[in-house]
Structure 1
């Protein structure tokens, strides 16, 4: 058997990086494992340095890819930054900066290795699409949605660029499933849940079964919410996560059956929702119509049916104009 006899660096932080790379890269031999454990026990500074390295790793895994991409764009000077800030790992803002630099150096796995599986899925406006993934998980994409899927040896990663996706995740305790939706990140091992990312950057998460962990906010100051079945959370455009609240799963996920459900909902909100499924948006002529309340169940596969029935539900007239626009006016 070949054994790596390379002596680790004398500096505790350099040595911690050496051992971390060996362990998390799957490179550590049995002899090295014994050396590693002896090193940790030999000096309290060794264990402290290794725990700092683990904290950096955790922070780096929670950092959106875009942060790493920006760092890579400025890569010529990053090694000196890493060296100069190494001493302040785990301390305030310095830790966050160093976490990003360390991630570029040794990474989350998605920066160290090519993915085992990579695919980008999208739907047109008004389209739904089901996708079966190689791990046994299933995605259902709602209208006008884009999702980038990348699977690595130790994690499964989906970036929801826009739109809405229902996730039925195959359980794998040692291979977490992570969804990056901009200002919110969702982590699970196996469950069923819905994530919606609106154009105004608001993100909503609804759990059908199992449990999820939602981290809302900016990457350097995540606010974590834990959800179980029939619970939801929203992260608004200012990156503030709401408290967990009960969810009507049947209403939230009716789109999977091609339906939208409204219960005394404002006409403004209804039009905004129906417009997600139309190539030409509906317009309200008057601000006075915005707060009219309407209830009903409508088809997302035939959004014009909503326009046909609306005059019987509210005092309005629907005008279909020659240029293709649709206008709702007071009656």
Structure 2
């Protein structure tokens, strides 16, 4: 059964400078009636500030972080940012969280990466308690404790001064591994997916169903939203469009993490799809500094499965395939002209 498919814009994170067309793209997305705009962070620009800037210039479009890294802020600081964003935007904010990877968590934040699922579960619980503002917040977990025990001895549970726009502000979680996806379905309001392929939709439905079936699961298949980031390359020549996206996938599969299973979570997605031999080769090439060769080694079918490439009519047909998946919202990595074409197709 086909789903209603919404269109969003993933503005990503900045490089060495803010993108020259960043605000123009968001304003165009608002004008076109696109559902949402999302910002990200790595180890440069943060995820919240661009949304606040764009939110001040828009009135309708949803504003989401895809993703805010849980090691970048304490749960209380993250909840404060979410409360503030939701009040400023009058209920348009979606808090998207993610554990990131060991290179960023340990190298940039100087924090432990171990047990990301347990840390995420505790983090989300504290954030929910702060935002709900039902009582002063106390929490005793393995990774987070409020208030601090010891110290000056003056700590006490506190309740947010700011009242929430929505006590049930939606929290989405970025996840790629099977256990992480199942936990996301259990504790979150939505899943920020990436490297998703319609041909592998059955696998993700099974992982989500596992989470929905757990005791105390927050939502269900009817209430849960899947928002999926998708690169887009328009062009009459399909092969050339695929080539445009090869460096993007080479970076994620080959360069984000160390060599080997479990060392690069993005690469493990493609391995689960049956591309283990090719991914091993891509990692070898990329980590040896041979990035162009790594990109060239990417199977065209893999790039095509996870993207929207080619002329407008072909993308229209591909969108029909996406409507058969569990995805609710496609978050396009696209410029303003491409957004206009996509908005017409949607």
TM score, norm. by length of structure 2: 0.25
Higher strand share: 1
Report which of the two structures shows the higher radius of gyration computed on alpha carbons: 1
Larger relative contact order (C-alpha < 8 A, sep ≥ 6)?
2
Higher helix share: 2
TM score, norm. by length of structure 1: 0.25
